[in-house]
Structure 1
Amino acid sequence: MKIAVIRQRYNPFGGAERFVERALGALAQEGAEVSLITRSWQGAELREGFHTLICDPPAKGRVARDRSFAQCAQTAMAEGGFDITQAHERIPGCMIFRAGDGVHAAWLDRLRRVRGPLGRLGLSLNPYHRYVLAAERAMFAHPNLRAVICNSRMVRDEIIHYYGVAEEKLHVIYNGVDLDTFHPDLATRHRHTVRAAHGIDDDAHVFLFVGSGFERKGVPQLLAAFARLGAANARLIIVGADRKLDAMRRLASQLGIADRTLFTGPLQDVKPWYGAADTFVLPTLYDPCPNAALEALACGLPIITSTACGAAEFVREGKNGRIVAVQDIEALMGALAHFLGSKTATRDAARMAIHSLSLTAMAQQLLGLYRSLLPK
């Protein structure tokens, strides 16, 4: 089976890119011949065993860059003789679209609800958003599109709502997790040493956030809720890259929690913090199904997330997590307090929620979908 996967660029801290790396590796192990059509990629797992087709036409500006890459990728798909073409970008003409970044129309609607009149006007006039919406609309309407991979039921329902795609074209295939690497045993290996290195007592309750894009993923609300919690024996760890990192540090200082909040910046390896933490928190404004939340569950951490997160589908309220309304700071503070003093959520309950999401299971689901699309 000759498969082309299209992803424009590599961000070593991005969940979508990590999915592509894992998926490609799993598919190659199953005997598929995999090519990656990309503008640039430096993922270690792609240095051997895969073909890469570079599509990097010159372009100035974000819209021109995305449009030129889409046109180059469309040519590569047409000329490559592929059995399957799977785009992780909104590119009309692909056979399969993986909606790993969610539905742009849904994200903009959520953003409009929290912006003022000028902010909403800016969103409607923004040329980039106008381009993405047009590309998304054209892709879902294109006759070549035969299947859409949704990484949560939330995304599936949004595609039906905004674009009326037939439900039989929509396939929920959750992100695979390396269940051997992300495991409750990380606590045994890292809890004491990581805490000691950062001056955190063994009996302190550590809340962990992992993600890039602080505004979208709710960091300001998390800081506000943590400040209201007022628990001297709690610590908040913020892991991630963001251009507003310094602004969030200042906000933590203004809220009086700078001494109990640690911003690590981007980390290539978050596993030690999964081992050191007690609860994972992601009060996101919009997230299709973040890898970090699934990894945290695999490590035995209960998760607190929002109603706008696909990973909420794995939460059993009060047992392995809590779900709060988007931007409800009081409810978020209550969820933090619940896990601060509650022993009802266990590592086993968190782990069991995603025990079936192995990389092998994901690869088998993908291959099953591909085989169903090939000529009989």
Structure 2
Amino acid sequence: ESYDIIHGFSRTYFQDIYRIGGGCHAGYLRRTYAWAATPWGRAFTALNPRHRAIISLERKRFDRKNYKRLTAISELAKNEIVGEFDVPPEDITVIYNAVDADRFSPERLRPLRGKTRERLGLAREDIALLFVGTGWRRKGLRGLVDAVAALKNPKLKLVVVGGGDRSTIADASKVLESVIFAGYSAHVEEFYASADIFALPSLHDAFGTVALEAMASSLPVVCSRLAGASEIMTDGEDSLLVDDPRDVKALASKIGILLDESKRAEMGKRARKTAERYSYEKNYERTMDVYEQVLRMKGMTGNARR
């Protein structure tokens, strides 16, 4: 069967367009595991069959013979691929992720707040700091738990939605009574409704759509600059950004600013306005622009939007 365009989203060798949705494997290892950046760590990565196979597949995928155009979900992801595989920057178009602004509208979420907070055991005066994600080491949950401990505020409760390895935070027993593990949920909007602050302290994250969902929900966001989502944010306006999420003091300081209810409200309103700019319609239009570039490269005429 013949196709006008093949658009790859997973670990495939050949396609006309490949969407870079997660950076590169070597970058993930270096940022998530300190040992991976050491000489012996690089040697281990090169010799380990699994790591070697993944990196070899990436190298083949990003050979110019095997694609016509690339898209990336952030400048961070783009720059990582350019640096790791010598891909010409002009081959990559950045198209940020989109959000369903209606699903996460404050008006729609407001009726869910009281019931969800009651189910979580949150008191009326509690300040709920929300974390959503799996792969807790890469997402920086340990640093967030330590930041909550450093603030020593009994009203501050960390709500963790998603699954992960609890051994990464098992020795943080001093603060675990302030952590609520909510598990997996298909109705994440309920948790945005229940929250007062959202945090994405990732060590390596090509984007982090949960931060955009939180912003659409009018939540103030504390975000790591190592997450691509930070590129759509303005520090001190619609979010608070942390250069190094492993810096517990800096992370705690940013969260501490948002213990003030009026600051949360102001920043949350601005966050919502920012999120409204990242619609699925705009994402679609930018993707169709890339499709039309590829059609021209293949000598084909027609409108990709037909």
Normalised TM-score (structure 1):
0.73
2:198 match: secondary structure? strand
Contact 1:283 1:306 in 2 (8 A): yes
Contact 2:32 2:137 in 1 (8 A): no
Contact 1:173 1:362 in 2 (8 A): yes
The CA deviation at 1:198 is 2.3
Equivalent residue, structure 2, for 1:329: 248
For residue 211 of structure 2, what is the amino acid of its counterpart? A
Equivalent residue, structure 2, for 1:74: none
Paired-residue identity, %: 30
- Segment drifting more, 184-193 vs 109-118: 109-118
Matched, 1:237 2:159: yes
The CA deviation at 1:249 is 6.6
1:23-66 CA distance string (max 9 Å, x none): xxxxxxxxxxxxxxxxxxxxxxxxxxxxxxxxxxxxxxxxxxxx
Q: Distance in 1 between matches of 2:82 and 2:43?
A: 26
For residue 196 of structure 2, what is the amino acid of its counterpart? D
CA spacing shift, 1:116–1:172, aligned 2, 3 Å = closer
Matched, 1:101 2:19: no
Alignment of 1:75-90 (within 5 A): 80-90=1-11
CA spacing shift, 1:114–1:306, aligned 2, 3 Å = farther
Equivalent residue, structure 2, for 1:151: 73
- Segment drifting more, 118-127 vs 322-331: 118-127
For residue 259 of structure 1, what is the amino acid of its counterpart? E
Equivalent residue, structure 1, for 2:98: 176
CA spacing shift, 1:339–1:140, aligned 2, 3 Å = same
Matched, 1:353 2:260: no
1:57-115 CA distance string (max 9 Å, x none): xxxxxxxxxxxxxxxxxxxxxxx411111112232221111111222232233235366
Q: Distance in 2 between matches of 1:248 and 1:105?
A: 21
Q: Distance in 1 between matches of 2:150 and 2:35?
A: 21
Equivalent residue, structure 2, for 1:67: none
1:280 match: secondary structure? strand
Alignment of 1:219-234 (within 5 A): 219-234=141-156
Matched, 1:288 2:206: yes
Contact 1:301 1:320 in 2 (8 A): no
CA spacing shift, 1:229–1:123, aligned 2, 3 Å = farther
Alignment of 1:14-25 (within 5 A): none
Structure 1: which 5+ runs fail to align?
1-79
Equivalent residue, structure 2, for 1:202: 124
1:160-186 CA distance string (max 9 Å, x none): 222222222111111121111011224
Structure 2: which 5+ runs fail to align?
302-306
Contact 2:142 2:169 in 1 (8 A): no
Equivalent residue, structure 2, for 1:30: none
- Segment drifting more, 221-230 vs 357-366: 357-366
Out of 246, 250, 265, which is 2:170 matched to? 250
Q: Distance in 1 between matches of 2:41 and 2:159?
A: 30
Out of 62, 71, 86, which is 1:164 matched to? 86
Q: Distance in 2 between matches of 1:119 and 1:336?
A: 34
Equivalent residue, structure 1, for 2:304: none
CA spacing shift, 1:100–1:342, aligned 2, 3 Å = same
Q: Distance in 2 between matches of 1:335 and 1:234?
A: 14
Contact 1:112 1:119 in 2 (8 A): no
Contact 2:60 2:66 in 1 (8 A): no
Contact 1:86 1:96 in 2 (8 A): yes
For residue 99 of structure 2, what is the amino acid of its counterpart? V
- Residue-pair matches, total: 293
Q: Distance in 2 between matches of 1:123 and 1:273?
A: 38
Out of 211, 216, 232, which is 1:314 matched to? 232
- Aligned-residue CA RMSD in angstroms? 2.0
- Segment drifting more, 118-127 vs 179-188: 118-127
1:250 match: secondary structure? coil
CA spacing shift, 1:360–1:116, aligned 2, 3 Å = closer
Equivalent residue, structure 2, for 1:215: 137
Normalised TM-score (structure 2):
0.89
CA spacing shift, 1:81–1:103, aligned 2, 3 Å = same
With a CA cutoff of 8 Å and minimum separation of 6, indicate the structure with the bigger relative contact order: 2
CA spacing shift, 1:116–1:137, aligned 2, 3 Å = closer
1:161-219 CA distance string (max 9 Å, x none): 22222222111111121111011224411221111222212232110000110011011
Contact 2:29 2:36 in 1 (8 A): no
Q: Distance in 1 between matches of 2:77 and 2:251?
A: 23
For residue 182 of structure 2, what is the amino acid of its counterpart? T
Q: Distance in 2 between matches of 1:162 and 1:121?
A: 16
